[in-house]
Amino acid sequence: MLPEAGIGLTYNFGLQSFLEECLDHIDVLEVEPQSIWFRKNGDASNEVHGCPQLVMNEAEFERISRYQCRKLLHGIGYPVGGSIPPGDEQIPLLQKMIKDWDVPWMSEHLSFNKVIAGNRQVNTGFLLPPLQTPEGVRVAAGSIRHMSANLPIPLLIETGVNYLQRQRYEMEDGCFMASVVEAAGCGILLDLHNVLVNQKNGRQGVREFIRQIPPESVYEIHLAGGREYQGYYLDAHAGLISRELEDIAREAIRMLPNVKAVFFEIFPTYLEAMDNRALCLEMDRIRRIWDQRGTRTISKRHGAPPAQPAPAERLDGSVPSAEEWENAVAALILKKESDSPLYECLKADRGAGIMQDLLYSFRASMVVRSIPCCFRYLLIAFGKDHFESLLKDFFSGYYPEGFASVEALNFLEYLAGRPIDLKALPDLIRYESAVIRTAIDNTSRVLQFSVEPLTFLRALAEKRLPAAFIDGEFELVIEGNTEGEGDTETSRPVSELDQYNPVFHN
């Protein structure tokens, strides 16, 4: 039996003020482990048994460790709904976090994000919906068992968002989830906002979904806010939960006897417009929902999962394989051409365009967050439209990456190969790359600058250009993490310059 964890928040960097001042308003933090990992990419020495080596962002790990509350893990990079099982390279770091934080269970998404393109495995950069057929059930159950076998704690699977309409050969959403849980022997993370998003976009209703899943298998609930976009409702983690979702949560939690935690998810962008008091009030609101858990008994689960899929709607009357489905959906979101009949069928679904837009937004935000100086310089010098044209050209030639650090390094490589006539841009590209690499390996680096660097960098930090560039030969030292070590001098160009201590977050 899993222990009660209570109510909490999904951790992100924007929550630090709240956690320092208002930690007593929550019981538990849920950490997305990949958000505090780096991937070492490059030469073969950085690979272990053919797998890219993952390393912890130690400063962020220690920061989270200091918060005096229970912690859970919620995976976002190794989903368990696809025909390619989640990679084992994550297991050592997961095991460390589980042991050091005494984590009682973790969760992952019932989605996929990897396919084979040519002769290599590529990341789609977005959690995509699995095929909801008996084969899809077998594939997902196999991936779940594969990951569970390497974990010392139970694994829950999360109900995902699906912007595509259900095909006639697919199971209903709730039946598919119930079938996977039964086949894999795992529990459920019921993201009620995800299910509400699906309902609003034309898929199965929330209440019907809940009737079809085994109530005793739901151990965790997620709540969030959303927003409208081009006629769709997005799982945007935008602001407070709606009254509609609150009512659904109150009703659902009464019928779920084993719920051990309820989490509120909100992206940092929306936290900026919310003070700590407002977030405290929202957590008090969620605690009132939590207090209703398991107060109503139900006699039995309705709507047993079907043994066979419904009739196909494809012209040849066949049902696609899981691999065919994944390749077609991935080609759609990555805007890669395909001669698959399934690809042509799905291409007519407006939800495919929504997912393309979301992938672009997600990748763009990863790049912008990771290389703020280059982003600001290019934006000031050329404007938004030109910067976005660079991003689109880059995205067309590079597959997405699961880690912001790798995505950013690839973009810097792309920029370095472009004929961009902009003073000191090569210096800035080397600088941003060095900051990222030093965050990964904690190794100090000495950079050569053709202009005085600190005036340049400080101006960009203030979203402007320097009044004048000072030409010359300068050195800038990028030191490894010195948090807590006082005023260590970290830059020494040829002329005397003030301290500059860059901090990079993955």
Residues 38 and 157 in one domain: yes
Q: What is the pLDDT of residue 310?
A: 47
Lowest mean pLDDT among 175-189, 226-240, 478-492: 478-492
Please give the tally of structural domains in the chain.
2
Instruction: Tell me, yes or no, whether 453 lies in a domain.
Output: yes
Q: What is the pLDDT of residue 69?
A: 97
298 pLDDT tier (thresholds 50, 70, 90): low
Instruction: Tell me, yes or no, whether 358 lies in a domain.
Output: no
Instruction: Tell me, yes or no, whether 502 lies in a domain.
Output: no
Residues 283 and 377 in one domain: no
Instruction: Tell me, yes or no, whether 350 lies in a domain.
Output: no
Per-residue pLDDT reduced to its tens digit, 440-496: 988 999 999 999 999 999 999 999 999 999 999 999 999 886 443 333 222 222 222
Instruction: Tell me, yes or no, whether 86 lies in a domain.
Output: yes
Residues 375 and 285 in one domain: no
Residues 277 and 404 in one domain: no
Mean pLDDT of 421-444: 94
Mean pLDDT of 58-78: 96
Q: What is the pLDDT of residue 489?
A: 27
Residues 280 and 375 in one domain: no
Q: What is the pLDDT of residue 302?
A: 47
Looking at per-residue confidence, does 269 or 228 come out higher? 228
Instruction: Please give the torsion angle defined by the CA atoms of residues 14, 18, 23 and 28, in that order, rounded to the nearest 10 degrees.
Output: -30
pLDDT over 60 (residue 264): yes
CATH of the domain at 285: 3.20.20.150
Do 206 and 192 touch, CB atoms closer than 8 A?
yes
Instruction: Tell me, yes or no, whether 362 lies in a domain.
Output: no
Per-residue pLDDT reduced to its tens digit, 309-337: 444 444 456 899 999 999 999 999 999 98
Residue ending a domain, among 251, 270, 290, is: 290
pLDDT over 90 (residue 149): yes
Share of the chain above pLDDT 90, in %: 83
Residues 86 and 219 in one domain: yes
pTM: 0.89
Q: What is the pLDDT of residue 480?
A: 81
pLDDT over 80 (residue 306): no
Q: What is the pLDDT of residue 407?
A: 95
Residue ending a domain, among 222, 255, 290, is: 290
Alpha helices, DSSP H, located in 1-149: 16-22, 58-65, 91-101, 134-148
Instruction: Tell me, yes or no, whether 389 lies in a domain.
Output: yes
Q: What is the DSSP letter of 96?
A: H
Lowest mean pLDDT among 193-202, 215-224, 291-300: 291-300
Q: What is the pLDDT of residue 493?
A: 27
Mean pLDDT of 375-384: 95
First to last CA, the chain: 35
Looking at per-residue confidence, does 298 or 274 come out higher? 274
Per-residue pLDDT reduced to its tens digit, 17-60: 999 999 999 999 999 999 999 998 643 333 444 445 899 999 99
Q: What is the pLDDT of residue 22?
A: 96
Residues 134 and 277 in one domain: yes
Supply the angle between the helices 134-148 and 173-184 in degrees, to the nearest 10.
40
Alpha helices, DSSP H, located in 68-109: 91-101
Mean pLDDT of 159-164: 96
Range of the domain at 376: 371-478
The mean of the pLDDT values for the chain is 89
Residues 174 and 274 in one domain: yes
Mean pLDDT of 91-117: 97
Alpha carbon distance 312, 315 (integer Å): 8
Do 258 and 216 touch, CB atoms closer than 8 A?
yes
pLDDT over 80 (residue 415): yes
Residues 112 and 216 in one domain: yes
Structure tokens at 63: 């920061």
Share of the chain above pLDDT 70, in %: 88
Buried b (16+ CB within 10 A) or exposed e, 471-497: eeebebbbbebeeeeeeeebbebeeeb
Alpha helices, DSSP H, located in 255-371: 268-271, 276-290, 322-334, 341-347, 350-370
Instruction: Tell me, yes or no, whether 300 lies in a domain.
Output: no
304 pLDDT tier (thresholds 50, 70, 90): very low
Mean pLDDT of 253-258: 97
